[in-house]
A and B are shown apart, each in its own frame.
Chain A
Amino acid sequence: MSRFDVNFETETTMMKMMKSLGQKVGQLSLTLGALLATSAALAVNDLPGGPAVNQLDLHPPVTKIAHEQQWLHNFMMILCIVIFVAVFGVMFYSVFKHRKSKGHKASNFHESVKVEIAWTIVPFIIVIFMALPATKTIVAMKDTSAADLTIKATGIQWKWGYDYLKGEGEGIGFVSTLDVNQRALSDSGKPAGDDYLLKVDNPLVVPVNKKVRVITTANDVIHAFMVPSFGIKQDAIPGFVRDTWFRAEKTGDFYGQCAELCGKEHAYMPIHVKVVSAEDYTKWVDGKKKEAAAKADDPNKVWVQADLIARGGKVYSANCAACHQPNGKGGGPIKPLDGSPVVQDADKGKQIHVVLTGQNNGAMPSWKQLSDTEIAAVITYTKNNWSNKTGQTVQPTDVAAARK
C-alpha cells in the first residue's frame, strides 16, 4: 500500500513533466505537419477521462489497479532504461575507443565460463525482481468477488449492449452506439471535436467507489471492453463469459474503445463510462426504471396466440437463435427445439421450468431475467413453429405462477 502512496507523488510530477514534453514534441511535429501542407488546422484539446493531446504516458489512473499498472510500468521502464544505458554505454564506449582508425589493436580474449554464468544469473535475478510486484497485481486484478454491482457488457457488431444484472439498478438494459454524426464526420474526412469517435448515445452509468464487476460476452465475433483510466481490458467472446472489475475513485466521464479487431466498423464502437455519486446514481436508476415501466407490458394481460407468436419470434432471435439456430435445430451439444419432446409436451409447465431455471449445468442458462410476457411469448412461439404444432398458448400469468 505504502509503496503506491510514495510513488504517487513522483508519478504525478513525472506525468506533468511528460505532458509538457509531449506538448513540445507535439508542437514540433505539428509544425512538420503544417510544412507538409496538410489542410487541417487541427485544434483539439485534452479530453478528461480520454486521451490527452500528444499524451506520452498511460491515462491518469482512477482505480487502484490502474495505479498499480502505472507504477509497474514506470518501475519496468526505469529499470529497463538503466540497464539499456549501462549496456549500451559499454558498447558505445567500445565503438568510439576500440577502433581500427584510432590504431586500437584487437585483443584476443574469448570464452569465459565465469563471465557467461555471471551474465546469465544476474539478469535472471533481475527478472525475478521484476516479476514479484506484478504477481500481486495480477491476483488483485483477477479477484472479481464481492461486487456491489454486476453489469454485463455484450459486444455486438458494432455497438455495446449493457445489462445491469445484480445490485442497484438490476434489470436496466440498453444499447450504446457511436453518435451518428461522428460516423458521418469520419466519412467526410474532416473530423472535429475533443470527443471525436468517443461520443456515444447512451453512456454506461456507474456509482463512484463501488466495486463494479463487468461480465463480457459477445453476439458475433470477439470484441474487447477497454477503459484505460480504469486499467481494464477484457475480451468479449461470443458464447463465453469472462469478467473483470473496477472501483472508480473519481466521478467523471471515462472513455475507451473496442480493442479487438471485430470487422469493418471496429474503430467505431467506443465505450463511455459515466461515474456518478451514489445519490446521482440512485436518481439515474429511478429515471431508467420509470422509463422502462412506461414501456413495459402489463403482466396480467391475456394475449391472443398470434400476437404472442409474433412477439415470441423477436424474443427468440434476440436471445435463443444464437445457440438453438433460427431453424430450431441446435447443433453440437445444443439441443434442438424443433421436435423436442419438452417443447411438444402437453404439460406447458415443463418448458416454462427449463426456460426459468436452465438445464444441463447451465449449458442451457436460466432466462429468468426476461419478463413474464417475453418468456410466455417465446415459449408460445417455439410450441407453434417449425414442425412443432401443439396449438398451445402460454400466458404471462402462467409464467408468473411458475416463478413462485
Chain B
Amino acid sequence: MSAVLDPHGHVAGEHGHDDHAHGHPHGWRRWVYATNHKDIGTLYLLFSFTMFMVGGVLALLIRAELFEPGLQIVNPQLFNQLTTMHGLIMVFGAIMPAFVGFANWMIPMQIGAADMAFARMNNLSFWLLIPAALMLVSSFFMPGGAPAAGWTLYAPLTLQMGPSMDAGIFAMHILGASSIMGSINIIVTILNMRAPGMTLMKMPMFCWTWLITAYLLIAVMPVLAGAITMTLTDRHFGTSFFTPAGGGDPVMYQHIFWFFGHPEVYIMILPAFGIISHIVPAFARKRLFGYTSMVYATSSIAILSFIVWAHHMFTTGMPVTGQLFFMYATMLIAVPTGVKVFNWIATMWRGSMSFETPMLFAVGFIFVFTMGGFTGLILSVAPVDIQLQDTYYVVAHFHYVLVAGSLYAMFAGFYYWAPKWTGVMYNETRGKIHFWASLIFFNVTFFPMHFLGLAGMPRRYADYPMQFTDFNMLASIGAFGFGLSQVYFFFFVALPCMRGKGAPAPQKPWEAAEGLEWELPSPAPFHTFETPPKLNASATKILA
C-alpha cells in the first residue's frame, strides 16, 4: 500500500501488487506500529502539515493584531506568546519534520534500499513528536500562558516565564531526541544500504543534502539541549549560568543558542536544495550542470555554518575583531550559495523546459530565495546590521529564505513525488493556482516588511507608531491570502490525491526525471527493493 489513506487499502489504478501477503497490520495499528518507511514518511508529512496550519493560525492572529496600530485583538503578553509559539512550531513542528518525512519516503527509494536502517527507531522518532507537539500547543492553557520569550528563548527573560517555559523546554528536548534519532537513521541508511554500484558520488542530490543535514543535526541538537537545560537549572535548581547576579552571563546563552541556531538555518534549507536539484534537471530535460560542485558547495555551506553564529549578535557589543571575523565569515557563505544558484541556472540554460507545478515552485524558489539570500548579504555587513538587527527587515529576510525557500521547495517536492506516493496525478490547474496565489500573497506579505525594517520598526512589537500603518495593513492582507492559499492546497490538491482521486499516475510522469524512484510503479508498492537492484553505470536505472 501507498500513502493513500484508504481504509480498505485499495487504490484506483492499482498496478496489481498485492502487498497484503506480508501480513502487515491494518487499521490504526498500521500507523501506531508503523515500521514501513513510506507509512512513517506519510505520518511525518501529515503531522508537519497539521503543525504548519497551527503555526499559521498563530501567524494570522499576529497579523490581525498588527493590521492597525493600537491593541484590538490580543494583549501584549498574549502577543509575545503568539510570536514565540509561531516560531517554535514552524521551525520544530513544521519544517524540520516535513523534511524528515521527505527523507523517509524518498531516501530508501532513491538508493535502492528496502527500508530505513532502524525501522523501530524510525517509529519512535515519529511518535515522540506527538507528545512534544501536544505539550507545546497545550502550553497556551497553562498558568501564565505559553512561553513568551521569543523562539530564541533568550535568558534572562526565560527566567521570568511561568511553568509553560518548563513544558516548552521539555518539548524541545523530546523534539531534539527525535531529530537525532532520525538523523542517525538517515546516516546509517545512506552509508550502509545503497544498492551495489551506487557510489557516494553517484548518489542522488537529495540524499547528499540530507546526509550532510543529518550530520549537522547530530552536531547541534545536543548544543540546543545544553542551552535549554542550563535555562532549566537556572530556573529551578539555583544555578546561575545566565543570571548576572550569580556571576552568570546572559550573552553566553546567545552564543550557545546561535551555535545551534545558525547550522539549524542550513538544516532547514539544505534538503530544499536537494529537492530543487532533482526538479530543475527533470523539467529542463537536461542533466544537472555540476553535480560534483553541488556536493562540494553543500559541504562548504555546512562547514561554514559553524563559524558564523555571532552575526546574530552584532548588537551585543562584540569587540572589533569579533565583528570583523563574523562579518567576513558570513559574507563567505554567499560564495557556495551562489555556486548552487549558478548551477541551477546553467542546468536550465539551453534546456527544453516545461513548467508543470513542480517546476514552477522550483523556479519560484530560486528567484525568491535568492532575494532572501541578498538581504542576508546586506545584513551580514555589520554596520548596516546595527541599523536593521531586530527590525522587520530581519523578519522579511528569514521569511524569504524559510517560506519562499524551504516551504516552496517542499511544495515543489510534493508535486514532483506525490504521483509516486499516491498513484494519482494532482490536478495541474489547481497546482498552478496554488503556486501563483502563494507567490503573489507571499510577496505582498513580506516585501513591505523590508521597508518597515529600514524605517526602524522593531520586531516582536504588539503595537507600533502610526507612520507604519499602511505597510502593516498590506502585510496583513497578504498574510490572510497566503494562509487561505495553503488551505486551498490541502483541500483541493493534497486531499484528493490522498483519496486517490485523479488520473492514474504513470510510472514516470515526468519524461526526463532520473532516479531509482521512477523505476518503481506508481503508487510505490508497500515494500520496494527487497532484494538489492542491479544498477546501470550511472546508478539511475535498474538493469532487468
Quick one: which of A33, A77, A231 contacts B386, CB cutoff 8 A?
A: A231
Contact of B461 with A87 in the complex, beta carbons under 8 Å? no
- Is A98 touching B70 in the complex (CB atoms < 8 A)? no
The distance in angstroms between the C-alpha atoms of A119 and B336, with both chains bound, is: 9
**Cβ contact within 8 Å between A222 and B157:** yes
List chain A residues, Cβ under 8 A from B188: none
- Once A55-B455, A239-B250, A333-B247 are accepted as A-B contacts, the answer to whether A259 and B391 lie under 8 Å apart by CB is yes
**Chain B residues, CB < 8 A from A22:** 451
- With most chain A CB atoms within 10 A of its CB, the pick from B148, B335, B363, B468 is B335
Whether a CB of chain A sits under 8 angstroms from the CB of B419 is no
Contact of A72 among B240, B292, B381, B448 (CB under 8 A): B381
Asked if B160 and A104 make an inter-chain contact with CB atoms under 8 angstroms apart, the answer reads no
Task: Determine the chain A residues whose CB is within 8 A of the CB of B160 once the complex forms.
Answer: 220-221, 263
Given contacts A221-B157, A233-B315, contact A127 B335 (CB under 8 A): yes
Q: Judge if A3 is at the interface, Cβ distance under 8 Å.
A: no
Query: In whole angstroms, what is the CA distance A52 to B454 when docked?
Result: 11
Q: Judge whether A98 and B335 touch: CB under 8 Å.
A: no
Binds B, one of A163-171, A191-199, A273-281, A299-307: A191-199
In the assembled complex, A404 has its CB within 8 A of some CB on chain B: no
> Is A59 part of the binding interface, using a Cβ–Cβ cutoff of 8 Å?
yes
For residue A267, which residue of chain B has the nearest CB? B461
Known: A38-B68, A123-B334, A221-B156. A56 touches B383 (CB 8 A): no
A22 to nearest B CB, angstroms? 7
Interface presence of A361 (CB below 8 A): no
Contacts of B67 on A, CB cut-off 8 Å? Answer: 38
For A72, list chain B residues within 8 Å (CB).
381, 383-384
Interface size grouping (class) on chain B: 35 or more
* Residue contact A76 to B384, C-beta cutoff 8 Å: yes
Asked if A197 and B465 make an inter-chain contact with CB atoms under 8 angstroms apart, the answer reads yes
- Given A222-B157, A259-B390 in contact, is the A29-B331 Cβ separation under 8 Å? no
User: Which residues of chain B in 228-247 are interfacial with respect to chain A, using CB atoms and an 8 Å cutoff?
Assistant: 240, 243-247
Q: 1/0 per residue A31-66: CB within 8 Å of B?
A: 011001010101010110011111111110000011
- Min CB gap B503→A, angstroms: 20
Inter-chain contact B352/A29, CB cutoff 8 Å:
no
Asked whether A266 lies within 8 Å of B76 as measured between CB atoms, the reply is: yes
A197 CB to closest chain B CB, in angstroms? 5
Stretch of A182-190, A201-209, A351-359 with 4 or more beta carbons under 8 angstroms from chain B: A182-190
Which of A192, A193, A194, A238 is within 8 Å of B250, CB to CB?
A: A238
B150 touches A98 (CB 8 A): no
Given the complex of chains A and B, what is the CA–CA distance between A42 and B466 in angstroms? 8
Give residues of chain A (272-309) contacting chain B, Cβ–Cβ below 8 Å.
none
Write out the residue numbers on chain B whose beta carbons fall within 8 Å of the beta carbon of A190: 70
Contact A115 B454, beta carbon cutoff 8 Å: no
| Contact A259 B458, beta carbon cutoff 8 Å | yes
CB neighbours (8 Å) of A119 from chain B are 338-339, 342
> Which residues 214-263 in B have Cβ within 8 Å of A in the complex?
240, 243-251
A120 to B334, CA, bound (A): 10
A386 close to chain B: CB less than 8 A? no
Judging by beta carbons under 8 Å apart, are B288 and A110 in contact? yes
A80 CA to B150 CA in the complex, in Å? 31
Please judge, given known A-B contacts A123-B338, A186-B71, A220-B156, whether A36 and B477 are in contact too, CB under 8 Å. yes
Output the least CB separation between B326 and chain A (Å): 11
Q: B291 interface residue, CB < 8 Å from A? A: yes
A25 / chain B contacts, CB cutoff of 8 Å: 470
Q: Which residues of B contact A83 (CB under 8 A)?
A: 374
Q: Is A370 an interface residue (CB 8 A)?
A: no
Whether the pair B387, A228 counts as a contact (CB closer than 8 A) is yes
Contact of A240 among B77, B249, B354 (CB under 8 A): B249
Query: Judging by beta carbons under 8 Å apart, are A91 and B251 in contact?
Result: no
The reply to whether B473 and A106 contact each other, CB–CB distance below 8 Å, is no
B469 in the interface (beta carbon within 8 A):
yes
With the chains together, A99 CA to B320 CA distance in Å? 51
B138 within 8 A of A: no
- Chain A residues with Cβ under 8 A from B437's Cβ? none
Which residues of chain B from 386 to 438 have any CB-CB distance to chain A below 8 Å in the complex? 386-387, 389-391
Q: What residues of A have a CB within 8 angstroms of the CB of B149 in the complex?
A: 261
CB of A89 to closest CB in B, whole Å? 10
Q: Which of A219-273 contact B (CB under 8 A)?
A: 220-222, 224, 226, 228, 231-235, 237-240, 242-244, 256-268
List 6 extra interface pairs beyond A142-B319, A189-B70, CB under 8 A.
Answer: A98-B348, A221-B154, A233-B315, A259-B315, A261-B154, A332-B240
Across the A-B interface, give the 10 residue pairs with the lowest CB-CB distance, nearest first: A239-B244, A242-B317, A332-B247, A55-B455, A44-B466, A106-B352, A228-B456, A332-B246, A51-B467, A267-B461
Chain B interface (Cβ within 8 Å of chain A)? 67-72, 76-77, 80, 148-150, 154, 156-157, 160, 240, 243-251, 284-293, 315-317, 319-320, 323-324, 327-328, 331-332, 334-336, 338-339, 341-342, 345-355, 363, 366-367, 370-371, 374, 377-378, 381-384, 386-387, 389-391, 448, 451, 454-458, 460-471, 473-474, 477, 512
